[in-house]
Each structure stands twice: as structure tokens, then as C-alpha cells.
Homo-oligomer: A and B are copies of this chain.
């Protein structure tokens, strides 16, 4: 099949579309606990996993699992965790030759406690030195990619990538998660598509209801595809030039671990857009992928394959 054509049915494009993900790359330590801690003392975990992930990194993994190609531009320290992050992401099929190793900075580390209801306590450590510099972002650097997806972790780099991608006519997708409002307001106008999380959309609009946030954001960014994900409540969106609020309910699942579910949504969406999929179909596929992820313990490692996500879609 020639590049540029839409894939037949629900299967990935052939050759696979290539998504550049830009942002967080973290070594997470996940502890499963029977109860969340309340103050000092000791909590004995009954299981432990260490996973190289982070918003952009987990999204990149979703792209790979969904049958696409993913490259990650992220920054790690020149330390044991950093080399491990790059190696393990590479072993997961993510192309890591664009990763930056920052001398004198320490890699991002998080500890995450997850209780039997899938609720999370997150203790994330970031060294501000990690994202003080940028890597190059020329038309040559972006030529290979069919879409870009950036998170809010490396704002200067994200802005370069969004701006250059739009200049080149490529989908430029922003994972609009919680960040300082000035960061969101700086990145948003550079994107072609923004998927906000509910708390981030609330911080930008002050609205209480998700259905009210989307029109406010659409009015502010009229040329941009705007979506707001609301977890188990589903996803609302609007499209430039259409005066409509769209909605797609989430798939009902029993969640055991919601960690990285949003990232799996974003990665799947980016690949779907890179494949030229219509918006509703892309949102539905992303919702299915995120829902399936929630049923599996282990952060991004629970990302489903394309076939698993399509099977859930066909069962609805």
C-alpha cells in the first residue's frame, strides 16, 4: 500500500506511520500496596516493578504496540538510571537515537504506589537541569515523521517541534496535561491538535463541566482540534470549522492500574491521525486502547496491541 493511503479496515498502515514523541522519560518504581500510606511509618508492598516510561515515552510505546513506528526525543542524565531508561525503551521497540544524555543532570525517577482500586500515589523527582538545553529541530530532523506528539515536560523543545511540524504541514499534537498555565498557553497555539486532561482544561478555563470546557477552548484556539479526556466519563472534542461538541463514552472496564492510560490514549491518537484516520474513529481507537491498559498492572507495559484494541471496538 502506498504511503498516504488510509489503511484498510482497522489494521495499521503499511508501511507503518512514524510518530515522533517528545518529552518525559522516567524510571518508575511501582509498588503494589494493600493500603495507601497516611503519614509516617512503613507500608509493605506485595509486588514491585521498575519500568522506563513517562508521558512521551509511554505514548511512544503505544504507537509501537498499535503497529506504528515511534521515535522518542527525551533527556536523561549521564547516570545509571539514564542509560537504563534509554536501553529499556529501545528494547521495547522505541527508536531512541534522538535521546539526549545531559552531563551533570540526574535522570527523572518516580516512585508510584498503587492500591487494589487502581488509585495512585505518585512521588516524581525531576532535576531542572535535565531540560535546560535543547537538541536540534531542523526540517531534516523532522523529515522522517508523519506526526509529532509532545508533552509538557520539555517545553522549549516541544515548542520547536510543534512549530516546525506545522510549518512542514504535519500533524502537531500536544498532550495538554497539568503544567503551569503559562506553559500550556505557550505551547497550545503552536499545535494542530490538543488533547487536554480534565484538570489541565479546568485550570485554563475555570469551567466546572468538561462539556463546557471544550467550547471555551475552541473559541480561544479556533484553528486547532481540541479534545478533553475525562477518564471513565469519556472524551469530548470539537473540530475547527465545525460548530459541534462531539462526545465518545469510555469503555467500561474494571481498572486495576490507570498509570499511563492517558499516555496510551495520546500515543494511539497520534498514530491514528498520522494514518489519516477520521477524528471519531481515532478517538474511539484511543479510548479502547486506554481502557484495555487500565485492566493490566504495570504502567505502559499494559498497552494493548492493535488487534486487541480493534477487537474491543468491534465488541461494542
The chain A residues found within 8 Å of chain B, CB to CB, are: 29, 31, 33, 36-45, 48, 50, 80, 84, 106, 109, 111, 113, 115, 119-125
Contacts and interface: CB of A to CB of B under 8 A. Distances in A.
Number of this chain's copies in the complex: 2
Contacts of A106: 48
A120 B84 contact: no
Contact of A40 (B39, B48, B119): B119
B113 A29 contact: no
B39 A38 contact: yes
B109 A42 contact: no
A50 B84 CA distance: 15
Contacts of A39: 36-38, 121
A106 B47 CA distance: 11
Given A45-B123, A84-B80, A106-B48, A111 B40 contact: no
Which of A41, A44, A48, A123 counts the most B-chain CB atoms under 10 A from its CB? A123
Given A80-B80, A80-B84, A125-B48, A36 B40 contact: yes
8 contacts: A29-B111, A38-B38, A40-B121, A41-B122, A42-B122, A43-B121, A44-B123, A44-B124
Nearest to A127: B48
B111 A31 contact: yes
Nearest to A42: B122
A42 B37 CA distance: 12
A28 to B, nearest CB: 11
